Amino acid sequence: MDEFRIIPYQPSHLDGVHEILFRTGYMGEDLIGRNAFNDRRLFGYIFCDYYLRFEPGNCFTALSSDMPERVLGYIIGAGDTRAQLYRFKKTYARKIVLRNSLITRLANPESFLMTKTIMAYFRQDLLTAETSILYRDYPAHLHINVLPGFQGKGIGAELMTAFEERMRMQSAPGIHLITASLNEKALRFYLKNNYRRYSEEEGDFWPGVTGVTSITFVKALKPA
């Protein structure tokens, strides 16, 4: 059994978090060797840097007890998704579009196209009738990833406990999250941690990958 401890995120964990993000970035699987997205810095801008920079108190890492600098997993998120979306658009969205058009377009065309698809999603009005109800009842959201080779050892469950406790302290009534229908590890993990399926939507999860739906899970939190 590998020993680990969960602690609040610190800037020295950044490279480790980026590594895990990439190693789990293809709908839960490793991005290495796929030629699906090669601009690692941009990947970080899109999927995790906002939280680490603007909501570090909502971020936790699992560190190896044997190698205390080694990050084995992380959880990041926000207590108020409406506010997070607004701030993300004001901060990282601009950085992402700039890097994508000035650097990525030429250096990493595969990342350029993927980023355009993602940013088109963020340009829509995300506050629909459905999401307004979701964000009212389950205003917090999370993203969780554990390094390949260290999954299935209880790290994810402990990261969840730390994040849920933090959300309870902020009086969030509930948490939601989105995953891909083909990510069986994640589907089992969320059900096991008492999240329930809330909705399912068609949509392009990754360009060129068909038949994958996007599943929203929710969990109500008991007040602290």
Helix, strand, or coil (residue 22): helix
Helix, strand, or coil (residue 126): coil
Residue 173 Cβ vs ligand COA, minimum distance, rounded to whole Å:
21
Give 62 or 112: the residue with its C-beta nearer to ligand COA: 62
Residue 107 Cβ vs ligand COA, minimum distance, rounded to whole Å:
26
Give 93 or 186: the residue with its C-beta nearer to ligand COA: 186
Give 27 or 97: the residue with its C-beta nearer to ligand COA: 27
Give 112 or 163: the residue with its C-beta nearer to ligand COA: 163
Which residue number has the CB closest to ligand COA? 156
The torsion angles phi and psi of 111, rounded to 5 degrees, stand at -70, -35
Contacts of 178 (CB under 8 A, 6+ apart): 141, 214, 215, 216, 217
Residue 163 Cβ vs ligand COA, minimum distance, rounded to whole Å:
12
Contacts of 123 (CB under 8 A, 6+ apart): none
Residue 152 Cβ vs ligand COA, minimum distance, rounded to whole Å:
4
Contact 99, 46 (CB under 8 A): no
CB neighbour class for 164 (10 Å; exposed up to 12, middle 13-18, buried from 19): buried
Residues in touch with ligand COA (CB under 6 A)? 24, 28, 144-146, 151-157, 179, 183, 185-186, 188-189, 192
